[in-house]
Structure 1
Amino acid sequence: MSQMLYNPFQDLIFDEHFCFLSGVLTNEKMTVFPEWLMAHFKFGDERVEMMDKAKSYHYEDLVLPCSPEVKLAFDDLDLKIQSAYEKGYEGMATLDQELLFQWTGRMVYGLLYYEMCYERDVLLKKGEEFQLSPLLRKRFSEFHLMLQSIIEPITFIGKKPWSIVVFPLKYSADIFSYRDDTINLMFSFGVDGFGFIACLQDNGVIKENQKEVLEKMKDHVLHPVQFEELYARFHYTDYILQYAPQYKIENGDDGITIEIDETAKPPKFGFWDEDVYAQLLSNYWQVYGIEKDHILPPQRPRLSFLENPYTQDFVDPESISLPY
């Protein structure tokens, strides 16, 4: 990996006086979640929990130290995303996916930053040293490098390091749904008009794995229960994915290039456990009162609102009677 750019995971530096992205000294800050997004959906005063559920923050209080250059770059990106957002699905679907990666990456990394700081502080109080496994250190370092593409001349060559899918979605007005998995670098976002799911460092493997259902979805406006099921499929597929992405990262006169190393060990998937998947899906469907036992009924196939379990045909969203 390039030693030219700042890498907070090399020495596990998460300090409020160092820009989270460039590492330069700063006293300026930016919010983890875009201010326009919090204002539009009025969730700034709601709380978000850390992974251990022992600590929570108001969304509007989640801030990152940043240089003026980094703040300007994300402000410019926000304007592009907001403009696309106002055009609904068509606007978001035509966005360069690198912009969606950067925009989503800001929020995922921001939450990861808080998890790192929180875990470090808890261990310090116990007199213990904060450490990360080599696998996580490598994953997060490469993710951070890719996110620096918003301010640095970084070029992605060939197949992109992420899976991002954008699709039409019908919600009641003013509802905003999002889920994240900071450790596995995943994010989902849904509003009335469109939704998208992002796996930020899987090298497109999960999208390829789910291509059959993605093809069936075309020309349909998803019901929210289908959106939740799709994210559950992506999330569980990531869980059983046995794959450590490898990259060729090179410095040149024109900047840094990042290319997927196709000679590395290919991805494979572990056993799909219906019981574990049903438990995960029930967490996403609990708003509809759908429990795990409803998803895996005795002597019957698993419940799905994406594919008919008998014919494998795509379920017409208009045939679903659940509320939006």
Structure 2
Amino acid sequence: MPAQIYSPFQRFNFSNSKCFLTGEALNSEEEKIQVFPQWLMSRYNLEDQPFKLLDESMATYKDLKLPNSAAINEQYLEPLEAEIAAAFETGYEAVKQLDEFKLFQWAGKLLYGIIFNEIQAGIRQQHAQGEEFNISQAIIHRFSNLHLMLQTLNLPIELDGFKPYSIALFKVDNADNVFGYRDEINTLTFSLRIKDFGLVICLQDNGSNGRYHQEMLDKIADKPLHPIQFEEVNARFFYSAYLFNRLPEYEVMPVGDTIYIEAAPLRGTSSKPLFDDWMNKIYGQVLENFWKNWGFLLLEIIKNPNAPISFLFNANGDFVNAAKIELSR
């Protein structure tokens, strides 16, 4: 029988009795995996750290779990976790050698796990209030596409000449034992800063954010960054992901035993640019949040409204050597 795509958003099935990846019935509702893998939680003592959900309720990192078939986990997910864990523990040079598609799969699985828990919490909250769970069609579209791409983990799927993501990896002079994690589930943007590296991934833009920032990326390629510089890169990506105004469309074509996925052109029939206009004041607000560790306020950041403060580039647009930045790491 040909492989079948599982689409949990068609029937909105987010119970703990089905595997999140395949939809198959589980033997027990205890058949789960951690959203944040155990090796990562143990390494950074995250288990009992608070994790705030969108409905303002608090969980801990170890509370976040995904229903997952033990067989699927053993065959497809554990080997991926082992490879990622080994590279992350070694650091930047090992992460750089990883197949970037595996980084995408790993980050996508983690972010989807958070989405799954957010949806479950939302369903519980609205049912408790006697309301139907409500979520925008655009968000469903994004989440559904992410889940489709995650099935490259366990199904014979081939992407036809495109990457669904933008990914940027940097060597960063981090403080010891730093754990810097960020996500934005509405735009499917993910960032992690640990060991001696920083990673940012836009999980569903077909490479658009990477192209949008190509000039910046070319200037800082292979250069070690101070943490405040990485967070500036982060802010730029998170803001541009917010400005990205397309919903990628994919055509799924089963051919024999293989499922081919083809991306529709992002421009479609619209003459509108792929990104809305960049507004320095809003970017400054994003940057203020990302620079919270260093105490910069919005008024300082956009003192010159046409040229917000940058630790990446000087007034001439040249890269600032990280060693010259006299700020805490």
State the TM-score bracket (shorter-chain normalisation). Answer: over 0.9
1:235 equivalent in alignment to 2:241 = no
1:315 equivalent in alignment to 2:317 = no
Decide whether aligned partners of structure 1 residues 300 and 253 sit closer, same or farther in structure 2, where only a CA change above 3 A counts.
closer
Return the letter of the residue paired with 2:181.
Y
C-alpha distance after superposition, 1:170-207 (max 9, x if no partner): 10111111101112111001113111101000000000
- Counterpart CA distance in 2 for 1:239 and 1:209 is 13
Contact 2:280/2:306, CA 8 A, preserved across alignment: no
Contact 2:89/2:195, CA 8 A, preserved across alignment: no
The equivalent of 1:66 in structure 2 is: 68
Structure 1, gaps ≥5 residues long = none
Alignment size in residue pairs:
321
The equivalent of 2:9 in structure 1 is: 9
Return the letter of the residue paired with 2:318.
D
C-alpha distance after superposition, 1:247-266 (max 9, x if no partner): 22211113211222237527
Identity in percent: 37
Decide whether aligned partners of structure 1 residues 82 and 298 sit closer, same or farther in structure 2, where only a CA change above 3 A counts.
closer
TM-score normalised according to structure 1 size? 0.95
How far did residue 99 of structure 1 move?
Answer: 0.6
SS of the residue corresponding to residue 232 of structure 2 reads helix
Contact 1:112/1:183, CA 8 A, preserved across alignment: no
The equivalent of 1:181 in structure 2 is: 184
Q: Tell me which of 290, 295, 309 is aligned to 1:284.
A: 290
Q: Tell me which of 277, 292, 297 is aligned to 2:303.
A: 297
- Counterpart CA distance in 2 for 1:15 and 1:226 is 41
Spell out the pairing of 1:164-179 with structure 2 (5 A cutoff). Answer: 164-179=167-182
SS of the residue corresponding to residue 268 of structure 1 reads coil
TM-score normalised according to structure 2 size? 0.93
How far did residue 32 of structure 1 move?
Answer: 0.2
How far did residue 86 of structure 1 move?
Answer: 3.1
Q: Tell me which of 112, 115, 133 is aligned to 1:112.
A: 115
Contact 2:105/2:153, CA 8 A, preserved across alignment: yes
1:272 equivalent in alignment to 2:274 = no
How far did residue 305 of structure 1 move?
Answer: 0.8
The equivalent of 1:252 in structure 2 is: 255
Return the letter of the residue paired with 2:122.
E
How far did residue 301 of structure 1 move?
Answer: 2.9
How far did residue 30 of structure 1 move?
Answer: 0.4
The equivalent of 1:138 in structure 2 is: 141
1:155 equivalent in alignment to 2:158 = yes
Return the letter of the residue paired with 1:94.
Q
Decide whether aligned partners of structure 1 residues 136 and 3 sit closer, same or farther in structure 2, where only a CA change above 3 A counts.
farther
- Counterpart CA distance in 1 for 2:301 and 2:37 is 36
1:95 equivalent in alignment to 2:98 = yes
How far did residue 113 of structure 1 move?
Answer: 0.5
Cα RMSD (Å) of the superposition? Answer: 1.7
Decide whether aligned partners of structure 1 residues 299 and 236 sit closer, same or farther in structure 2, where only a CA change above 3 A counts.
closer
Contact 1:187/1:199, CA 8 A, preserved across alignment: yes
Contact 2:251/2:262, CA 8 A, preserved across alignment: yes
**Deviates most, 173-182 or 265-274:** 265-274
